[in-house]
Structure 1
Amino acid sequence: MVAHLTVHLFGNRDDARCTQAFPYGLQSPIGVNTYYPADIENMDDAPVIVFVGGILSNPGNYDTLARQWTSHGFVVVVAYDFFNSTADMPALGLAVALIQSRDPSSPLFGKIDFGRTVLAGHSGGGQATLQAAALFPPLAGMVDPRLRIIGALAIEPGPLAVGALVGVPTLYLTGYNDFVVPDFAWVRWWQYNMSFNAPAWIANARGVSHFSPVDGPGAYASSGTAMAWLEYIAFVDDTARQYFVGPDWKLETDKTYYSVDRNALADALTR
């Protein structure tokens, strides 16, 4: 009920979904929910998205988002501990994905391509994502020789992360109506504007508030952009690439956005 009322007060169109994770229910407040395509046994190895939700959120709030991504061929692990704001959460999600990929009784046994691992998160989880995107890439090979972090998706991230430390391609998504994480604040000051070591993009969507990512794809205006960026990064999809790369990149002229920018490293990309 609390989640339902909160998101609608912030202008969401869809109801929030919840699991029984404490304090929303009586199950453990710490855990990982795993999503995967229904036909994964007939698929080639799938890329994995390690996702962390916002501070005080319930993992069920992101059920629709995770299902959208699995419908496009991704495995998605949603890690949570209610606080959801530090790099230990992506680490937990990644550990569970690795365990499942090695478990012969798991439907994900041998089915995850860890060479295509994407870190993603919203709000406090976006902050945790950027922290992990700074810490994990240099250590990935020591954790598992297959592991490679190929990108980060930071949706309205919290302030405790610095873009200069991130060494993988990163898309920052903000909302024009978001007064919790305003586009003009730290997301630009010391995150996007200080992304010196990897390609970075930032897009500020019209009509999007802080809780809009909890909405379904039809109501969250940036869901298509997030999906395109994930397909560009993980599948090197040529149609998706045209939105982010080249002199005539399509995202720049997308009327969904009040402003769109990319840094010099992104500007120089040809693929």
Structure 2
Amino acid sequence: MNAPTTSPIMAALTDEEFQKIAAIASEEAGLSIPDSKRSLVQSRISRRLRHLRLPTCRDYLQLLSDAPSEKRELVSILTTNVSSFYRESHHFEFLRKTIFPSIPTRLNQGDRVRFWSAGCSSGEEPYTLAIELLKAIPEAASSDLLILASDIDPKILERAKTGTYSPSAVDTIAPEDRKKFLTASSDDDEMFSVGDELRNLVRFRELNLHATWPMRHPFDVIMCRNVVIYFDEHRQRELWPRFREMLVPGGRLILGHSERIHPIESSGFTTESVTVYRRT
């Protein structure tokens, strides 16, 4: 009997290979990959090589040069898509108290209301926002109110579009809201799917934050949480004025718990709450 074959172990990344990988990720998506992340990069590149049946990182770098679509795969494997319903719930409390009360009057006056979940990952953030909007403003379902949900990763967007989640994933949604807005599957896997009311409020789009944005109209609220932490300071500073231009006067930009606009004095924003910024 022949011995089972095993995939060869990828040799450690050379300094040159690591720097080339980091440079491609920065150019493609603005990712900042310091040397401290070398072991993570090594692990994920090694896994990708096994999937592609490539023997060395040199071969992979050649593939990145020959097939631009692989650069999107590189960005996908180097980023961590962590999301959950009601993550950093204080932000949704802020929206309920500060933003939502004025929306019904605006809708009745014929105004359009727009939210943007930038870096939406697998969809938990925009669907949470949709749940909260429908609870606070039942007429939102039939009004000119929409949530744009964007991400650079087409694969994670496909997951978001399916709107299907495990029982543990929806555990942070109140039982009465799960019953109202989600549907439990009749199969043995006991998965939950978001209902049509939620789906109708959300529009998904593949979007690179460091490329041209096709949106023509400004937003009332932009949620870009736990995304810019992946970018270096230069890339972050490029984003602040672009976000500002995509907000209505007085619109809010909401960042993740470890992210800050710096320097705030010249940004065109003022701090309103914990990582909530108001356009001046």
Higher Cα Rg: structure 1 or 2? 2
TM norm structure 1: 0.29
More helix by share: 2
